[in-house]
Structure 1
Amino acid sequence: MYAAYRVFMPKHANVTCIIPDDCILPCSFRPTGTVVIHWYKQQIPVHSYYYNKDQFGLQNKHFSGRTGLFNSNIPHGNASLLLRRVKVQDKGRYKCYTSTRKGNQEVFINLEVKALIQSVIMEMTDEMVTCSSHNIYPVPQVTWATDPPSAQEALENSTIKTTDHKGLLTVESTLRILGNLSNYTYFCSFIAADKTQVWTASRKNQEGITQEEGHALSIPCIAPRSLQNFSLIWTFTLSSEPTVIFRYESKTRHTFNLWEGQAELDQDLLLLGDGSLLLHKPDIEEQSGMYTCTLSGLQSRHTVQTRVNITVASISVDEQSVQRSWWSTAASAAFFLFTVTVALPQCVRKRATETRSAAHRFNGAGFVEVGLHKHLNTTASYVIGQRGVNCNRLQLQFEAQDEVADGTPNTAHDCTAALPPAAKIEQEGNPGGPLVEGDDGLLSSSLERDGFGNIEPGHHIS
């Protein structure tokens, strides 16, 4: 027969379990042979053990497949319950009931559950900055700050919480931008209900940077606080999804660089929290866009966003002078080439045509009369204005030989301009002086004929 049951005084314990991990609800008893174990949540059957095995017939379906005992340790007085994949709905008051030949015992466990803050995300628009965290429990406290510091009344925010079907929370807090977007660095902190966690996110949207192509450019990214065992990620967004272009892990010093040879970070400055990105020779099309730097440490994340605009390189004064000189040289060469290939042949053809016309008038029209006296040496010079060609002066030289059979003087072979059609020279008699220029612009001889046909000095030829 069983001895009279011995009832022990109730025991109480508080346990906190992390969602969605496994959790142990402790319970012990004095082993004295066969034992009966029952676990309840309030009056709901959670798990039962008797006849040396687990009994699931009365178990509530909420705990189905998620409970167990440490059967090998039961003979040693261990009646603890293993609760797998803890949920928000598991929180509450549990009772561990044990019964042996020595008596009965009840142990009460107050179970608290929490979902840890995994991350805090900050987003900014031109007017608002939003801080949010997902899948957390219970509701955390949210605080705001800025650098440079702002008055607390200026940091009034609106916080909203929503619950999903699992009972987990999404908390979102919104703050209005103070002044210009780039004036402040914003800090948002989520403090867990039990004060065991403080997660801080910070963000700064810097003023855009404009740089000429081909010139080195540094995009700043400096952590606002000292970081240890941090990671750094640079992303670049042009028109679609962000592309990771650089990744660095301070613990392993492992580096990934998608833009090898085009971009780099200073490893020594990195250890001091300076993750500024250096672009050696940025390109207009490939490297103009949005750059985002994220420094992540223990329960902290700092984000810096910068829009970069790469422009066409301007021309310096020296380069402009060289360029103008080059264009001037090119223009001169083009003009010379045009003159040689187009204008010069046309001029030559025109001069040749007019030369033939002048020769015809000179010889065919009796431009110089025959019948000069023997032993006459006369030199005639005519200065004639320009007639449609580029000749400003015409010289005709006639030399009468001692004996000219036909009485016609020779002409200079290099004359290329036509004489005026009315010009006519008549010279007879004794040798005279050279022709001189008259008031009408024509040259005439200083000798003139007398009434008998002789040439007398001091008179003009009519």
Structure 2
Amino acid sequence: MAETQGFILSLLVFSGKFWWTSSKVLLPELNVTCIIQDDCVLPCSFRPTGTVVIHWYKQQIPVHSYYYHKDQFGLQNKHFSGRTSLFNSHISQGNASLLLKRVKVQDKGRYKCYTSTRKGNQEIFVNLDVKAPIQSVTMEMSDEMVICTSHNIYPMPRVIWATEPTLAQEALENSTIRTTDHKGLFTVESMLRIVGNLSERTYFCSFMSADKSQVWTASRKNQDDITHEEGQPLSISCMAPHSLLNFSLTWTISNPMEQTLILKFDNRTGNMVNLWEEKAVLNQDLLLQGDGSLLLSKPDSEEHSGTYTCTFSGLQGRHIVQTKVNITVASINVDEKNQQRSWWSTAASAAFVLFTIIIALPLCLRQRALEARKLSYRYNGAGLVEGEPKLNRDPNSSTSCNGEQPGAEHTKEQAQADTHDDQFNDAHRSASCNGTLGPDSENEEEEKQGECQTEEQDVSDSESFEQNGFINTEPELHLAETSSRPQA
């Protein structure tokens, strides 16, 4: 009886040892989501009892192994080469978690963590899901189409269109194209046809992730073109479609050659960078309410003409308002035109008068002086003395002819003497011209011949002048001149 009891006890102990060593502890499966291109940890733990063997598998594919107190890479699949590791310093504490680096789309799946110790074996399953969140959404607008695009997304997102004011649902039917790259990431492009006038509505395009945990919205409004006169204040409207908490506002101006930053405001810090400090301003009080309108104090036709873009940027959205502005040269009204024309007429008249005074008048005076000098020279020997006042030729003038004024007899005597001298000079010139004078040099003869010709010309001019009624010799002088000539 005692032997039978001892045998049963030994069998129970042996059976207990076998059950402990051959048993497997099963734990609930874990779900882990990792961001593509980030590092991710797959958790696994065990009860530490001395040495341990660790194996990680993905559907029977060796991912990572550890035994003999070190990592073993001999059986590792090349897809995971260089991208896995354990927390070796924590293994003795029961931590067998796997660090998977630079997660890829292909890493998605079910993983198994197997640990074996002196006290037994353990298996833990981890379901790994991967995703590439929506980074941004861009919206482009033409006259006929609105195009919304986003890149490097996983898994496939859902695209939702809306307008403000609202359009009928059938008008929001869109065409969406999905493509994948070599990494397995999606590029989504959705197109919506514009209904009516482009500037009538604001268009919204939202990308929603597959698990509905993320919504990224892009919106855009193209406003009517603005034509404005330079020098006059101009406000360019920009309204956010909804209230914003943390956002930044950017204003730019672009032309076919370049795009220029005007200003940038950050609502989170309150900082503003304004490159047009003297030309453009924002009302920050209105800005906090969603009004980001830009005020141009004195717009210039060349510098401030172009396409203005206002951009509200938030954590999961972007709103763009675009306006084409043409600054024109200031126009002149009718009164100003008439005033300007009158001013030019006055200026032209003044210029003509000034020209006449400066140029024409001196020429006329000089010409008259020259003519007077010629007349004085021509009649120097016929009763007009150069540089002396002329005698009155009026025969009825009693003052000049019969004057009883003092010095009259002296004047007549002086005139008779001057006439006698002139007759002597004429006789002398006649003799010289006829060669009756004494012998002289040939040069003197030539000079005298020239003088004679000049005298003859002067006499001819004098006769012509007399025929025209410009005789300036008094009757008394003619009588004196006749009486003084010698009788033939």
TM above 0.5, yes or no, is yes
2:247 is matched with: 230
Q: Retained in 2: the 8 A contact 1:120–1:133?
A: yes
1:266 is matched with: 283
2:88 is matched with: 71
Q: Does 1:182 align with 2:199?
A: yes
2:69 corresponds, among 41, 52, 67, to: 52
Question: Shift of residue 401 of structure 1?
Answer: 5.3
Q: Retained in 2: the 8 A contact 1:70–1:79?
A: yes
1:212 is matched with: 229
1:127 corresponds, among 137, 144, 147, to: 144
Summarize the alignment of residues 343-382 of structure 1 with structure 2, pairs less than 5 Å apart. Answer: 343-345=360-362, 348=365
Q: Retained in 1: the 8 A contact 2:159–2:205?
A: yes
Runs of 4+ in structure 1 over 6 Å off: 349-361, 403-406, 420-424
Q: Retained in 2: the 8 A contact 1:185–1:202?
A: yes
> Could you say what secondary structure the match of 1:333 adopts?
helix
1:113 is matched with: 130
Q: Retained in 1: the 8 A contact 2:46–2:115?
A: yes
Aligned counterparts of 1:32 and 1:423: Cα–Cα separation in 2 = 156
Which structure is higher in helix share? 2
Letter in structure 1 aligned against 2:229: E
Q: Retained in 2: the 8 A contact 1:5–1:102?
A: no
1:12 corresponds, among 23, 29, 41, to: 29
Are residues 401 and 353 of structure 1, via their aligned partners in 2, closer, same or farther at CA, if it must alter by over 3 Å?
farther
Letter in structure 2 aligned against 1:22: D
Q: Retained in 1: the 8 A contact 2:114–2:123?
A: yes
The superposition leaves residues 367-399 of structure 1 with CA deviations (integer Å, 9 ceiling, x where unpaired) of: xxx996xxx679xxxxxxxxxxxxxxxxxxx99
Aligned counterparts of 1:308 and 1:357: Cα–Cα separation in 2 = 76
Aligned counterparts of 1:41 and 1:237: Cα–Cα separation in 2 = 54
Are residues 401 and 90 of structure 1, via their aligned partners in 2, closer, same or farther at CA, if it must alter by over 3 Å?
farther
Q: Retained in 2: the 8 A contact 1:235–1:293?
A: yes
Aligned counterparts of 1:242 and 1:44: Cα–Cα separation in 2 = 54
Q: Retained in 2: the 8 A contact 1:11–1:106?
A: no
Question: Shift of residue 402 of structure 1?
Answer: 5.8
The superposition leaves residues 200-224 of structure 1 with CA deviations (integer Å, 9 ceiling, x where unpaired) of: 0001111222222222222211111
Q: Retained in 2: the 8 A contact 1:39–1:97?
A: yes
Question: Shift of residue 70 of structure 1?
Answer: 2.4
Letter in structure 2 aligned against 1:295: F
Letter in structure 2 aligned against 1:338: F
Q: Does 1:31 align with 2:43?
A: no
Report the identity percentage.
Answer: 68
The superposition leaves residues 151-206 of structure 1 with CA deviations (integer Å, 9 ceiling, x where unpaired) of: 11111211111111211111111111222221211100000000000000001111
Aligned counterparts of 1:157 and 1:144: Cα–Cα separation in 2 = 8
Aligned counterparts of 2:79 and 2:226: Cα–Cα separation in 1 = 58
> Could you say what secondary structure the match of 1:33 adopts?
coil
Aligned counterparts of 1:347 and 1:246: Cα–Cα separation in 2 = 70
Letter in structure 1 aligned against 2:285: D
Question: Shift of residue 350 of structure 1?
Answer: 7.2
Q: Does 1:160 align with 2:177?
A: yes
Summarize the alignment of residues 221-370 of structure 1 with structure 2, pairs less than 5 Å apart. Answer: 221-345=238-362, 348=365
> Could you say what secondary structure the match of 2:25 adopts?
coil
2:162 is matched with: 145
Q: Retained in 1: the 8 A contact 2:21–2:121?
A: no
Letter in structure 2 aligned against 1:149: T
Question: Shift of residue 325 of structure 1?
Answer: 3.5
**Structure 2 portions without partners, runs of 5+:** 1-16, 383-392, 413-464, 472-488
2:188 is matched with: 171
Q: Retained in 1: the 8 A contact 2:48–2:94?
A: yes
Aligned length: 390
The superposition leaves residues 33-56 of structure 1 with CA deviations (integer Å, 9 ceiling, x where unpaired) of: 322111111121111111222211
Question: Shift of residue 333 of structure 1?
Answer: 0.9
Question: Shift of residue 19 of structure 1?
Answer: 1.4
Aligned counterparts of 1:347 and 1:326: Cα–Cα separation in 2 = 30
Q: Does 1:87 align with 2:98?
A: no
Question: Shift of residue 77 of structure 1?
Answer: 2.8
Aligned counterparts of 1:304 and 1:201: Cα–Cα separation in 2 = 11
Question: Shift of residue 354 of structure 1?
Answer: 8.8
Q: Retained in 2: the 8 A contact 1:5–1:101?
A: no
The superposition leaves residues 43-72 of structure 1 with CA deviations (integer Å, 9 ceiling, x where unpaired) of: 211111112222111111211221122223
> Could you say what secondary structure the match of 2:24 adopts?
coil
1:393 is matched with: none
Aligned counterparts of 2:181 and 2:394: Cα–Cα separation in 1 = 133
Aligned counterparts of 1:7 and 1:402: Cα–Cα separation in 2 = 169
Letter in structure 2 aligned against 1:177: I
Question: Shift of residue 103 of structure 1?
Answer: 2.4
2:120 is matched with: 103
1:191 is matched with: 208
The superposition leaves residues 392-418 of structure 1 with CA deviations (integer Å, 9 ceiling, x where unpaired) of: xxxxxx997567999xxxxxxxxxxx9
What TM-score do you get using the length of structure 1 for normalisation?
0.75
**Structure 1 portions without partners, runs of 5+:** 365-369, 379-397, 407-417, 425-462
> Could you say what secondary structure the match of 2:38 adopts?
coil
Aligned counterparts of 1:174 and 1:421: Cα–Cα separation in 2 = 106
> Could you say what secondary structure the match of 2:323 adopts?
strand
Aligned counterparts of 1:268 and 1:275: Cα–Cα separation in 2 = 10
Letter in structure 2 aligned against 1:205: N
What TM-score do you get using the length of structure 2 for normalisation?
0.71
Q: Retained in 1: the 8 A contact 2:220–2:320?
A: yes
Aligned counterparts of 1:247 and 1:50: Cα–Cα separation in 2 = 58
Aligned counterparts of 1:371 and 1:291: Cα–Cα separation in 2 = 94
Are residues 241 and 103 of structure 1, via their aligned partners in 2, closer, same or farther at CA, if it must alter by over 3 Å?
farther
> Could you say what secondary structure the match of 2:21 adopts?
coil
- The root-mean-square deviation of aligned C-alpha atoms, in Å, is 3.3
2:474 is matched with: none
Are residues 371 and 253 of structure 1, via their aligned partners in 2, closer, same or farther at CA, if it must alter by over 3 Å?
closer
Question: Shift of residue 231 of structure 1?
Answer: 0.7
